[in-house]
Structure 1
Amino acid sequence: MTATTAPAAREKRGIPGLAQLQRIGRSLMLPIASLPAAALLLRLGQPDMLGKDGLAGAWGDWLLPVADALGAAGNALFANLPLLFALGVAVGYARKSDGSTGLAALIGYLVFKGVSDALSPYVLGVAAAGEKQQLINYGVLGGIVMGLIAALLYQKYSRIKLPAYLAFFGGRRFVPIVTAGMAVIVAVVGALVYKGFDSGLTSVASWVTGSTIIGAFVYGTLNRLLVPIGLHHLLNSLPWFQFGAYTDASGKVWSGDILRFLHGDPTAGTFMTGFFPIMMFALPAAALAFVHTAKPGKRKVIAGIMGSAALVSFVTGVTEPLEFSFIFLAYPLYAIHAVLTGTSLALVNWLGIHAGFGFSAGAIDYLLNFRIATHPLWILPIGLAYGVVYYFLFRFVIVRWNLRTPGREDDDDDTINPNNVLVDQPDDDDAAASTVRATPKLDSKPA
């Protein structure tokens, strides 16, 4: 007599490395959170705001030192953006991090930068007499790498025990030491591959900026498609902080769409402008479609939830409360949203519209940067047109395929809470999971 046993169910495994990439993406939010303050200070200090062409010209020269001080404060943050990313990523990525993690990242990045500068003449050639020496410049990418290294070394060596005569340097005190040593190695390797890296990055940037319509469409679509797994921050780091170069009036070179725009580059905004019609008009219109397609008994509750989420999207450009309300429940609808976002970025580039932000594409940034934008008024009719498209298209798709958007869930369905529209990123232990568990607690931290 033989006994048969059912084969053991295979354990479902997430995509290899996805959880780590998600942790990196979330850790980028800490330094990115400092950008609105820097952008606001820099913008207020510019000539057309508090400077000689703005309030100082009308109210008197006493405002000039105020404008200079505010502008210098904003520039101080932007000029040290790689260092901010090193500190923020280290603290955000390491589990149970403390002050020694940030100190290790600071030391690591300073050593990395110092060694890179010292090796620059050997890699890029010695500058001619009277010319400025070209330096190896990895930008924020160098800061991100050193932040990750500091975080990983902290997790590995924060509890190390050394011999008695070296006990003082054990534990957390050992982390900055080993990070400094690793920074030297990383800087040397970085110097050896810098020419290839710079050539590759320049080629990609040239292709994207040379075919702005296609490049903007691809970027805009991918940006939204990566939101569910939290990798859009990694994608943003290249066009926003690395691509392109602009030399301001003082001779300082700024890289990335955000920094170039805020410092007066009229060609910047390729990877920002198209988000304004979507975040200020299209997604609020989608929220209205959700309300009108909700079941009558739930419509009042959904109207309150969606109304507040739409207002947040319009004013601040924070779209996670709206997007996460249907991102998993009706993913085909979200895919449509991603493609339409790409078309918005392509359209504004085709029309030669250039606007930008320091935080997100909401009304606050739109008004704050209105005077340094190119054709910003065109954003309003384009946004209204996208709002109409979103409302009728979303309403048609929801009704046609009976999608379970907020307010359309089964009455006996306990797996989805219609009030749970503010969904946080998944925990590290289940970051690669492809479903979202409903919880009765609202968490407003954006993805």
Structure 2
Amino acid sequence: MTTATARTSDDGGDGGGGGEGGGGRDGGGKRRGAGAMAVAQRVGRSLMLPIAVLPAAALMVRLGYEDMLGREGFPDFVNRIAEFLAAGGGALLDNLPLLFAVGIAIGFARRADGSTGLAAVVGYLVFQQVMATFSDPNLPPEEGVARPADAGVLGGVVMGLVTAVLYQRYHRRKLPDWLGFFGGRRLVPILASFAGLFLGVVFGYAWPVLGAGIHGFGEWLVGSGALGAGVFGVANRALIPVGMHHLLNSFPWFQAGSYEDGGVRYEGDIARFLHGDPTAGQFMTGFFPIMMFALPAACLAMYHCARPERRKVVGGMMFSIALTAFVTGVTEPIEFTFIFIAPALYAVHAVLTGVSMALSWALGARDGFGFSAGAIDFLLNLGIATRPWLLVVLGLCFAVVYYAVFRFAITRFDLPTPGRESDEEIAELEKAQYRA
């Protein structure tokens, strides 16, 4: 959207009688805006490599879930295969922040090589372990033990950017002869480790304070009906870039409300729904139209907006991440294709998610999931859902809206979504990956 602002200013400057000084100020503002957009585009492009592994990871985890190949009553060897799949996919999803740290460091730093990725790993591991020394009182304890603070994807993104900056500034720095061995590229991992130490302490002290506010917000949502569901949808998507959506989810999904079935008491939206509570699903139902229909339609729009010579390559990626979203409900691979290059478009996506959440609940639809809002959970829970057909109708309507909004925004504001990069940008990214 910055590009649109720059164009408006440019048109106004040409038509007005502003003086030379005013034109200089406008030019400086446009240059700063263009610079910020360029940085965001580089971050977005650098995420493509780690994002490419997510569809496979999501499918492995979903197939290994207890209601799929891990179901009781299946042969032991099938359950064993489920364990393998869940462990393999979980290894990637559980270490998503680390993948982002490496991907951003390599993709963002100019003339990056393997030492850039190593420095990102070193910095993030230090950051993660330092932050884990802090407990997060806002999350429910596990087996009576407080859970460690965790910055999620935000920590990986920050460490990736910091590592890239350190690499560009110090990878050719020479040290005195007696320290010469540690100069140049060897210096960057050392600096990254100290940066991770510092950032881990800063995040560790700040995280519980931020989390307390988010947790209290979650408690308010529970008693707010359709409005609460809508606000939850917006906040859930808005917090994904900073990795704090799990704090918001924790109270509505795992603690809010209670339902007794067979003498056993269940708490939280997910457990209550899966055990037959007809009033549950407030914080899950509206995700189905977005994850199964709307975001795949956004992928179709990005495919149609790609340059003709790039559509074949982009089409394969878009098909895989759209299929992953539809089948499993894992949408991060789609969202991270535009979250940094078009934050205003992501804000629209967050608002529309909230609209879907509020509308689904207000119209009386009730559905839920054990994993995420994909076709697998949709089909598995047909027997206990209320008006599930309504979610399909809403999904098709939202698909049309998403396709129109994304196609208009991409073409009108010339957003560099996958397949619209210049030849120079593609060559630079491929060169960085080759060096790595």
Whether TM-score is above 0.5 comes out as yes
Kindly indicate whether residue 124 of structure 2 is the aligned counterpart of residue 112 of structure 1: no
> In the alignment, residue 145 of structure 2 is paired with which amino acid?
K
Counterparts of 1:119-198 in structure 2, within 5 Å, are: 120=134, 131-132=144-145, 134-198=147-211
On the 8 A contact 1:136/1:194 being kept in 2, the answer is: yes
Kindly indicate whether residue 59 of structure 2 is the aligned counterpart of residue 44 of structure 1: no
Kindly indicate whether residue 82 of structure 2 is the aligned counterpart of residue 70 of structure 1: no
- Segment drifting more, 266-275 vs 88-97: 266-275
The number of equivalent residue pairs is 344
In structure 2, distance between residues paired with 1:284 and 1:117: 37
> In the alignment, residue 367 of structure 2 is paired with which amino acid?
I
Shift of 1:164: 2.6
Give the aligned partner of residue 293 of structure 1.
Answer: none
Give the aligned partner of residue 302 of structure 1.
Answer: none
On the 8 A contact 2:55/2:320 being kept in 1, the answer is: no
1:176–1:156 Cα change, 3 Å:
same
- Aligned partner of 1:353 among 367, 374, 380: 367
In structure 2, distance between residues paired with 1:338 and 1:133: 31
Shift of 1:176: 0.4
Deviations 1:209-255 (A, max 9, x none): 665744664576799xxxxxxxx8975554655532378xxxxxxxx
In structure 2, distance between residues paired with 1:389 and 1:27: 29
> In the alignment, residue 248 of structure 2 is paired with which amino acid?
F
1:217–1:91 Cα change, 3 Å:
farther
Secondary structure in structure 2 of the residue aligned to 1:136: coil
Shift of 1:107: 0.9
Secondary structure in structure 1 of the residue aligned to 2:193: helix
On the 8 A contact 1:281/1:387 being kept in 2, the answer is: no
1:378–1:356 Cα change, 3 Å:
farther
Shift of 1:348: 3.0
In structure 2, distance between residues paired with 1:47 and 1:390: 30
1:271–1:158 Cα change, 3 Å:
farther
In structure 1, distance between residues paired with 2:321 and 2:92: 26
- Unaligned stretches of 5+ residues in structure 1: 224-231, 248-259, 291-306, 407-415, 432-447
Counterparts of 1:400-411 in structure 2, within 5 Å, are: none
1:427–1:47 Cα change, 3 Å:
closer
Larger helix proportion, structure 1 or 2? 2
1:110–1:22 Cα change, 3 Å:
same
Secondary structure in structure 2 of the residue aligned to 1:148: helix
Shift of 1:28: 4.3
On the 8 A contact 2:286/2:361 being kept in 1, the answer is: no
More RCO (CA 8 Å, sep 6+)? 2
Kindly indicate whether residue 68 of structure 2 is the aligned counterpart of residue 61 of structure 1: no
1:205–1:88 Cα change, 3 Å:
farther
Kindly indicate whether residue 110 of structure 2 is the aligned counterpart of residue 85 of structure 1: no
Shift of 1:342: 4.2
Deviations 1:386-410 (A, max 9, x none): 646987x99xxx9xxxx9x99xxxx
> In the alignment, residue 166 of structure 2 is paired with which amino acid?
L
Counterparts of 1:134-283 in structure 2, within 5 Å, are: 134-207=147-220, 211=224, 213-214=226-227, 217=230, 236-238=241-243, 243-245=248-250, 269=284, 272-276=287-291, 278-279=293-294
On the 8 A contact 2:70/2:79 being kept in 1, the answer is: yes
> In the alignment, residue 162 of structure 2 is paired with which amino acid?
I
On the 8 A contact 1:219/1:342 being kept in 2, the answer is: yes
On the 8 A contact 2:211/2:244 being kept in 1, the answer is: no
In structure 2, distance between residues paired with 1:101 and 1:212: 49
Secondary structure in structure 2 of the residue aligned to 1:180: helix
Q: TM-score w.r.t. structure 1 length?
A: 0.57
Name the larger-Rg structure: 1
In structure 2, distance between residues paired with 1:157 and 1:66: 47
Secondary structure in structure 2 of the residue aligned to 1:273: helix
Secondary structure in structure 2 of the residue aligned to 1:274: helix
Cα RMSD after superposing both structures? 5.5
1:273–1:375 Cα change, 3 Å:
farther
Deviations 1:190-221 (A, max 9, x none): 33334323323323444556657446645767
Counterparts of 1:348-387 in structure 2, within 5 Å, are: 348-350=360-362, 351-355=365-369, 365-367=374-376, 370-371=379-380, 378=387, 380-384=389-393, 387=396
Give the aligned partner of residue 260 of structure 2.
Answer: none
1:37–1:112 Cα change, 3 Å:
same
1:6–1:338 Cα change, 3 Å:
closer
Shift of 1:112: 1.8
Kindly indicate whether residue 103 of structure 2 is the aligned counterpart of residue 103 of structure 1: no
On the 8 A contact 1:282/1:388 being kept in 2, the answer is: no
- Unaligned stretches of 5+ residues in structure 2: 1-16, 255-269, 305-314, 426-436
In structure 1, distance between residues paired with 2:297 and 2:43: 29
